[in-house]
Amino acid sequence: MTSGKYVGVDVCKRWLDVAVHESGQTWRVSNDAEGFASLIAKLKGIEPSKTAFEATGGYERRCVKALGEAGLAVAVVNPTRVRRFAQAMGIAAKTDKIDAQVIAHYASVAQPNAQSAQTPLEERLAAYVERRRQLLSVVVAEKNRLTTCSECMRTDIEEHLAWLEKRVAKLDEDILACVDQKEEWRERSQIIDSVPGVGPVTATTMVAELPELGQLNRQKIAALVGVAPFNKDSGAKKGKRKIYGGRAGVRRTLHMAALSATKCNPVIRAFYQSLLKRGKDKMVALTACMRKMLVMINVMVREGKRWKYLPA
């Protein structure tokens, strides 16, 4: 275990509860610019090895960014793992103060990697991709409503759908323009887009949300995205392998790309059909195709080469 002080921050909409694992010191600051400044000043006096935040779906982002810009090492940790760590330690109670202490203790044991600060361009691209995903979920909901709505509401829903589709198209333009501003992104996007079955949406999503592409081995990149099957064995029992966790946004776009690739990509189509012939369930076979595509793309990005079959 690395020596040093570890700080845990439990986040809610209005405030941040902070705890130092080694000393047991705790305090609370507001979740705003004034609170961030107060927290940074106090942390610089403590000089922690790492400050860990529990992912909350967005409420932690501004503070994480502020601490990163102040030169502090910051990690965002998985809340499920933190909760299971608390259970393993026999901590049944749950308050904001206790949660902050648990996060700090978890960080001291798990040693999560520090999060690198995003550049303004990286932040903008990530925001565009996330916003596009949000609007598409609304599009799907509105299309579902259109099939069962009253006739008097049909025009209203159709107009809303037309507006949403225009906004999605504008975001597509913004995403491509953003990618074009950085030569590395543009080249990476072109490499990914060269794979049959992969389109601009999958390519730009991978550029924005999977910067590790080309830097990790096949096992690690598959686990990072959440397409690596994990064993469930105990004694003589051989459990069913299942995928778990990972980056949901990348996995969703990769799922759609794999569906397309089973029809138009000769390598993936042959692989998919061979799995079906061996009696594999369609979803299991499709997940295997997702993993194969991801590993192939990972190799292509690492070597800077466009589509050509590479054993995966």
The model's pLDDT over 63-89, given as tens digits with 9 standing for 90+, comes to 999 999 899 999 999 888 899 999 999
pLDDT of residue 229: 77
* pLDDT above 90: residue 6: yes
- Model confidence at 101, pLDDT cuts 50, 70, 90, reads very high
- Model confidence at 128, pLDDT cuts 50, 70, 90, reads very high
Is the entire prediction scored with pTM above 0.85? no
Mean per-residue pLDDT of the chain: 89
Q: CA-to-CA distance for 52 and 9, rounded, in angstroms?
A: 6
Q: SS3 of 40, please?
A: helix
Token pair, residue 81, equals 């793992």
- Model confidence at 114, pLDDT cuts 50, 70, 90, reads confident
List the alpha helices (DSSP H) in the chain: 33-46, 61-69, 79-88, 96-110, 120-146, 151-180, 183-193, 200-209, 218-225, 248-264, 266-277, 282-303
* pLDDT above 60: residue 3: no
pLDDT of residue 233: 63
- Model confidence at 239, pLDDT cuts 50, 70, 90, reads low
Q: SS3 of 14, please?
A: coil
13 near 2, Cβ under 8 Å?
Answer: no
pLDDT of residue 312: 46
What pLDDT, in 10s, does the model give residues 187-222? 999 999 999 999 998 999 999 999 889 998 999 999
pLDDT of residue 296: 94
Q: From residue 281, give the alpha-carbon distance in Å to each of 126, 141, 188.
A: 34, 29, 33
- Model confidence at 289, pLDDT cuts 50, 70, 90, reads very high
Q: Which CATH class is domain 6-110?
A: alpha beta
pLDDT of residue 107: 93
Q: Is 4 left (phi over 0), alpha (psi -120 to 50) or beta?
A: left
Which residues, listed in sequence order, are joined to residue 234 by a DSSP beta bridge? 237
Q: CA-to-CA distance for 133 and 127, rounded, in angstroms?
A: 10
Residue 90 φ then ψ, to 5°: 80, 20
Q: CA-to-CA distance for 312 and 27, rounded, in angstroms?
A: 50
Token pair, residue 60, equals 């932690």
Q: CA-to-CA distance for 102 and 96, rounded, in angstroms?
A: 10
* pLDDT above 70: residue 150: yes
- Model confidence at 234, pLDDT cuts 50, 70, 90, reads low
Q: CA-to-CA distance for 163 and 167, rounded, in angstroms?
A: 6
